[in-house]
Structure formats: C-alpha cells, structure tokens
Structure 1
Amino acid sequence: MINRAILLGRLTKDPELRYTPNGVAVATFTLAIDRRTTNQQGERETDFIPVVAWRQLAELCAQYLKKGQQAAAEGRIQVRNYENKEGRKVYVTEIVADNVQFLSGGQGQSSGGHTGGGFESDFGEQRNNNNRRDSFNDNPFAGDQKPIDISDDDLPF
C-alpha cells in the first residue's frame, strides 16, 4: 500500500510553531494550490491544503518559510478526527510532511529565495545533500531554481 503526496503551492500565512508537552516541535501551515481546470465562470479554483511538519523540520519551516513563499511538501495524507465543543465529530485531512523544499521568496522578498533542498526529516533526523540519495534524480522539485513566472493576480491572498 502507498500513501504519498507531493504538493507545490504558496503559503497562505507564516507557519505556526508549537511544542508538545514533551518538547517536540510541530509546525503547521497551509499551501494554496490552483487547480488546472477552470469552473463554469472560467475562473481557476484554489485548494488550501494543511501541512504538518514535526521535530527539526518543523523548526526549519518556521524559521525559513513566510507567507506568499512558494514551497513543495512531500509526505503522507493523514485523516484524524476529534469531538468539538458541541459534541460533533470533526474530521481533519492534512499532509504530514517528511520533506519540505523552500523554493522562492514571496512578496517583498528576493526572487531567488531560500532553497531548503537538503532538509528532510525521518523521525527528526536532518540529512544534507552530501549523505542522501542523488537529489536531482529522485527529487521532483530539483532544477535550475529559477523563479516561476506567476503574476500577483494568480495568488489567492
């Protein structure tokens, strides 16, 4: 069985960094991703996908990612549920990231941005490009790191 998701979008706001009672870092952020197709009015719709990163990857995301910045997240889809204050069961679908690429700057930042190509998390470990697999062969987001031509009108925020 396979549960793998790869997302490429822009952050809707700065990541939120919290710590569990045991001191484990967890960062949450949302990626805005345009759909390829248009609706009946000819407009593109946008999906807002929540992403969760843990441990050192969470701290790196909180440090380097900012609202409007383009990022790629790779991980697994998780569905969890809880009871809200009214006693209703609430389901939450999110991506639990084990790799996040910091691709470009947002509004007001340099267009080159910060590339987090070497940061990956396997239960809290940080690895860099020197001791991981060949990133250009296995990384779907690797490339020349040139900015993607996108106008501000295409952004949902």
Structure 2
Amino acid sequence: MLNHVVLIGRLTKDPELSYTPSGVAVTRFTLAVERNFTNSQGEREADFIQILTWRQLAEVCANYLKKGHLTAVEGRIQTRHYDNQEGRRVYVTEVVADNVRFLQPKQNNGNTVSARENTSDPLAGESLAISDDDLPF
C-alpha cells in the first residue's frame, strides 16, 4: 500500500498552533494549490487543502510560515469523522505532513522578498555549495 502526497501551494492564512492535553504541539493550516488546467473562463482554479503537522515540525511551521508563503508539503492523506451537534456524521480529509519546505515568502507589491530581507527565515543569507558529483541526475 502507498499513501504519499507532495503538494506545492500558498498558505491562505497564518498557521494555527495548539497543544493537545498531553502537551504535544499541533499546527493546522490551509494550502491553496492551483490546478494544472484552466476553467471555461480561462482562469486557474485552486484546491484548498487542510494540512496538519505535529511536534517540533508544528512549532517550526507556526514560527516561520505566514499567509501567502509558497510552501512544499510532503506527507500522507488521512480521513477521519465525527458526529456534529445535530447528530450528523462529518468527514474530514487532510494531509498529515512529514516534511515541510519553505520555498518563497509572499510577494510584496509585485516584488518578491529575498531570503536576505526575510528576517524570519532561519536560513536567510545561507548558500549551499554542492558539486555536480553530488547531484543524483
């Protein structure tokens, strides 16, 4: 069996950090992921996918992700259900993230903010020296 999801999209709002009664950090956020095709009006539609992160990853996401940031998420799809106040069963589908990559902060007046200008980025100003021999392709 295989349950593996990779998504790239932008956050629709800042992540919401909370803690379980036993003290485990959990963060929820929504990722807007554009579809690969346009609708009849020539516009791209987007899917709004709920993302869930746990423990240290949850705290890192809450501290460094903000609304509009382009983000890659790798994880698995999870479906759960509960009965609401009216007694109806409600199904929830979400992605439980194992890996989150911060790709790009949101654009500011049409200009992309560079990593050096983004002081909330823990790797701001860092460069990686990778030789061609280290690349897998």
| Superposition TM-score, scaled by structure 1 size | 0.71
- Count of aligned positions: 119
Superposed counterparts of 1:53-132, under 5 Å: 53-108=53-108, 110-112=113-115, 114=121
- Structure 1 runs of 4+ with >2 Å offset: 107-116
CA–CA distance in structure 2, aligned partners of residues 98 and 20 of structure 1: 18
Shift in CA distance, 42/115, structure 1 to aligned 2, threshold 3 Å: farther
| Structure 2 unpaired stretches of 5+ | 124-133
Following superposition, the deviation at residue 40 of structure 1 comes to 1.7
| Structure 1 unpaired stretches of 5+ | 117-134, 138-157
Shift in CA distance, 59/136, structure 1 to aligned 2, threshold 3 Å: farther
Following superposition, the deviation at residue 41 of structure 1 comes to 1.9
Following superposition, the deviation at residue 38 of structure 1 comes to 1.1
Aligned to 2:128: none
CA–CA distance in structure 1, aligned partners of residues 31 and 52 of structure 2: 11
Name whichever of 37-46 and 8-17 sits farther off.
37-46
8 Å Cα contact 1:101/1:115 also seen in 2: no
Identity %: 61
Which structure carries more relative contact order (alpha carbon 8 Å, separation 6+)? Answer: 2
Q: Which has the larger strand fraction? A: 2
Following superposition, the deviation at residue 111 of structure 1 comes to 3.0
CA–CA distance in structure 2, aligned partners of residues 27 and 136 of structure 1: 33
Compute the RMSD of aligned alpha carbons: 1.9
CA–CA distance in structure 2, aligned partners of residues 115 and 32 of structure 1: 24
SS at match of 1:74: strand
Q: Deviations over 1:42-61 (max 9, x none)?
A: 21111000000000000000
Aligned to 1:38: 38
Shift in CA distance, 84/47, structure 1 to aligned 2, threshold 3 Å: same
Aligned to 1:144: none
Find the structure with the greater CA-based Rg.
Answer: 2
Alignment of 1:15 onto 2:15: yes
